[in-house]
């Protein structure tokens, strides 16, 4: 275990005063859908927006490297881990409630599955596309998650976030500056606290049927039984990354324990014992081969988190 410096010990003491669970030398493969990564210096399980504000302000005052983590479904941690503090925004911050007849408020740690089922319970439509995306509300807003023709930007009304000084702000849909798999939050200057989703009323049965259909399509086409980070590459304009990879003869191609899925070429899976280095080298070789064959340079969608800045 790495010896903690005075500033880190001070921060962790504050976290314990705020009744946040602190985990030292926490293995990150437990918090990544890839099941890859070394240990972080410490992980703090955030239990409220106010405590997040206080702790993030303190980390910045003390100059401690910090990042927020939700379900870990779109990240690739370094084999050496993360030299810093990770704020876990998960089940301790996953409250969800109705603000009025058509607006759901969900905290950043709320799983998308829970949000989608909550919308179904209230016969609210529009989130069906997200049913089965293995992420949290915070992560979905962060990267404007989408599938089957829908995106978070289509359904979110407001986002709330904390800046580096610990101040909480509200952002309108437009102010969140959504792009394809991105938003204003990807620069790391604000941490997402919660989102408000404005949804039209619909038929319970029709919403449920669409959710069941999309989940069935995911199971049929995607390697959900193997560790991965979802789609490995962003979709090029008017093309499909998986098709380009398949056309380059890379179905099943592997580097170490990392493999282009036999089931869906747009996915990189951990077939057993894959390292971060395996995944990154596989990405590099796929990009090189596809570019050579098609002239298209695939852009990686998975966020690589280095050990040190």
Is 94-205 assigned to CATH 1.10.3480.10? Answer: no
- Mean pLDDT (whole number) for 253-280: 97
pLDDT at 2: 72
pLDDT at 309: 85
- In this prediction, residue 236 has a pLDDT band, given cuts at 50, 70 and 90, of very high
Task: Reply yes or no on whether the pLDDT at 156 is more than 70.
Answer: yes
- In this prediction, residue 187 has a pLDDT band, given cuts at 50, 70 and 90, of confident
For the stretch 55-100, pLDDT in tens is: 999 999 999 999 999 999 999 999 999 999 999 999 999 999 999 9
Hey, what CATH topology would domain 6-91 get? 3.30.43
For the stretch 289-303, pLDDT in tens is: 999 999 999 999 999
Mean pLDDT of the chain: 96
Task: Mark whether 231 is an active-site residue.
Answer: yes
For the stretch 2-58, pLDDT in tens is: 789 999 999 999 999 999 999 999 999 999 999 999 999 999 999 999 999 999 999
- In this prediction, residue 143 has a pLDDT band, given cuts at 50, 70 and 90, of very high
- Mean pLDDT (whole number) for 223-238: 93
- Mean pLDDT (whole number) for 265-283: 98
Instruction: Please give the Cα distance from 172 to 161 (Å, whole number).
Output: 11
Task: Mark whether 277 is an active-site residue.
Answer: no
pLDDT at 32: 97
Q: What is the pTM of this model?
A: 0.94
pLDDT at 188: 81
CA–CA distances in Å: residue 172 to residues 17, 219, 301: 34, 34, 25
pLDDT above 90: percentage of residues in the chain:
97
Task: Mark whether 292 is an active-site residue.
Answer: no
pLDDT at 1: 67
User: Of 26, 32, 181, 228, which is the active-site residue?
Assistant: 181
User: Of 53, 231, 248, 261, which is the active-site residue?
Assistant: 231
Hey, what CATH topology would domain 224-305 get? 3.90.78
- Mean pLDDT (whole number) for 204-208: 98
220: left (phi over 0), alpha (psi -120 to 50) or beta: alpha
Q: Where are the domains of the chain?
A: 6-91, 94-205, 224-305
């Amino acid at each position: 275990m790495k010896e903690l410096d005075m500033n880190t010990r001070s921060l962790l003491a504050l976290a314990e005063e705020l009744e946040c669970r602190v985990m030292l030398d926490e293995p990150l493969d437990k918090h990544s859908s890839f099941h890859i990564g070394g240990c972080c210096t410490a992980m703090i399980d955030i239990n409220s927006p106010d405590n997040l504000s206080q702790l993030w302000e303190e980390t910045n005052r003390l100059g401690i490297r910090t990042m927020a983590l939700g379900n870990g479904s779109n990240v690739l941690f370094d084999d050496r881990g993360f030299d810093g503090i990770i704020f876990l925004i998960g089940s301790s911050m996953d409250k969800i409630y109705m603000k009025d007849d058509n607006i759901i408020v969900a905290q950043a740690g709320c799983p998308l599955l829970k949000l989608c089922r909550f919308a179904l319970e209230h016969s609210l439509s529009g989130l069906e596309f997200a049913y089965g995306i293995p992420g949290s509300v915070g992560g979905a807003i962060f990267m404007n998650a989408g599938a089957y023709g829908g995106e978070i930007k289509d359904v979110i009304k407001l986002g709330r976030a904390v800046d580096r000084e610990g101040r909480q702000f509200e952002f309108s849909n437009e102010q969140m500056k959504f792009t394809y798999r991105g938003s204003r939050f990807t620069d790391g200057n604000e941490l997402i606290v919660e989102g408000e989703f404005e949804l039209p009323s619909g038929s319970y049965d029709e919403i449920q049927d669409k959710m069941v259909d999309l989940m069935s399509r995911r199971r049929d086409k995607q390697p959900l039984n193997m560790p991965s980070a979802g789609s490995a590459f962003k979709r090029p304009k008017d093309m499909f990354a998986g098709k380009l990879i398949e056309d380059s003869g890379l179905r099943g191609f592997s580097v170490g324990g990392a493999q282009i899925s036999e089931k869906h070429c747009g996915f990189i899976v951990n077939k057993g014992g894959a390292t971060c280095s395996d995944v990154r080298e596989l990405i590099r070789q796929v990009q090189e081969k596809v570019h050579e064959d098609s002239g298209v340079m695939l852009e990686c969608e998975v966020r690589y988190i280095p050990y040190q800045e």
